[in-house]
């Protein structure tokens, strides 16, 4: 795509293994776009690649944001947008053309089945979390431990200890941002495929388009971005089509 990390002096990668380093990966936009820190602690396995690409999506988004935008558009706004761009990069690691081209994995069906199951697990988990969190914030703490267990177990089919009913909660309904981002990502990826072809990730023209979107920071909500792409707003069908396929 012509996006060259080595030329981006404002994006700093910390991917070294160190004892006591927190295993949870994150991007810290210290100064947008001048100083972006990407931190990953490699654990081994496919998840390191998915995580690195997810965080790289955030880093490219913040690192490409125009420096002359007002601070609100550089730091604040609809986080579904940056999560959507993060998912867009993350799910390259579940794209058969990308796997063949960059990892040499020609027979990827078994891995793709696994990757899809893993994604479906996250979608069901976050849908269950959102319905639990809405109940928590509207009905209060009474019965909340039991409600947590029931919501998560009915969606996922394995045990969830009641004791996690407050630990496993995302502040400010961030859970909803992820769900919005999953829907947004599938819609944007469909546009990229239709415009630039199945191997859009190898096209400079796709890179230029992405850099244009990234340069806007979080000025627009995902619905506004999608209307610009010809959709009516968030539409779950592309995501469902992916999973059914």
Between 86 and 226, CB nearer to Zn ion: 86
Closest CA to 234 of 195, 180, 174, 177: 180
Residue 141 tokens read as 């703490």
* Minimum CB–partner distance for residue 80 and Zn ion (Å): 10
β partners of residue 12: 37
* Minimum CB–partner distance for residue 6 and Zn ion (Å): 23
* Minimum CB–partner distance for residue 54 and Zn ion (Å): 6
Between 51 and 95, CB nearer to Zn ion: 51
Binding residue count for Zn ion, defined by CB under 5 A: 2
Angle at 62 between CA 221 and CA 19, to 5 degrees: 125
* Minimum CB–partner distance for residue 88 and Zn ion (Å): 11
Between 203 and 221, CB nearer to Zn ion: 221
Between 177 and 209, CB nearer to Zn ion: 177
Using alpha carbons only, how large is the chain's radius of gyration in Å?
19
Q: Tokens 């496993």 correspond to what residue?
A: 168
Q: How far is it, in rounded angstroms, from Cα 23 to Cα 224?
A: 35
- Total count of residues recorded for the chain: 245
Residue 84 tokens read as 């959507």
Residues 74-93 contacting Zn ion, CB under 5 A: 83, 86
* Minimum CB–partner distance for residue 58 and Zn ion (Å): 6
| Full DSSP string of 137-157 | HHH-STTHHHHHHHHHHHHH-
For residues 89 to 118, the per-residue mask of contacts with Zn ion, x marking binding by CB under 5 A and - elsewhere, is ------------------------------
* Minimum CB–partner distance for residue 75 and Zn ion (Å): 15
Q: How far is CA 92 from CA 50, 72, 107, 225, 238, in A?
A: 8, 30, 16, 21, 16
Between 36 and 147, CB nearer to Zn ion: 36
* Minimum CB–partner distance for residue 142 and Zn ion (Å): 33
Helix-strand-coil split of the chain, %, nearest 5:
65, 5, 30
Between 87 and 200, CB nearer to Zn ion: 87
- Residue whose C-beta lies closest to Zn ion: 86
CA 214 to chain centre: 14
Between 147 and 189, CB nearer to Zn ion: 189
Asked if 56 is part of the footprint of Zn ion (rule: CB under 5 A), the reply reads: no
Q: Which residues lie near Zn ion (CB under 5 A)?
A: 83, 86
């Amino acid at each position: 795509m012509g996006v060259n990390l080595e030329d981006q002096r404002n994006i700093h990668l910390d991917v070294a293994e160190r004892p006591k380093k927190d295993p949870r990966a994150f991007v810290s936009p210290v100064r947008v776009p001048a100083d972006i820190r990407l931190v990953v602690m490699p654990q081994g396995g496919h998840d390191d690649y998915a995580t690195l690409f997810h965080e790289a999506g955030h880093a490219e988004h913040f690192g490409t944001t125009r420096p002359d935008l007002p601070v609100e558009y550089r730091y604040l706004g609809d986080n579904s947008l940056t999560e959507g761009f993060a998912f867009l990069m993350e799910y390259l690691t579940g794209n058969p053309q990308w796997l063949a081209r960059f990892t040499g994995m020609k027979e990827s069906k078994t891995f793709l089945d696994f990757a899809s199951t893993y994604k479906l697990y996250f979608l069901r988990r976050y849908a269950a979390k959102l319905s639990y969190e809405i109940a928590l914030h509207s009905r209060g703490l009474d019965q909340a431990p039991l409600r947590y267990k029931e919501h998560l177990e009915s969606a996922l089919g394995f045990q969830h200890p009641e004791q996690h009913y407050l630990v496993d909660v995302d502040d400010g309904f961030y859970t909803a941002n992820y769900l919005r981002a999953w829907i947004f990502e599938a819609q944007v990826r469909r546009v990229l495929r239709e415009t630039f072809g199945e191997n859009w990730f190898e096209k400079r023209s796709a890179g230029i388009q992405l850099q244009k979107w990234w340069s806007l920071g979080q000025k627009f909500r995902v619905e506004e971005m999608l209307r610009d792409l010809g959709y009516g707003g968030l539409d779950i069908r592309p995501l469902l089509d992916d999973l059914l396929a």
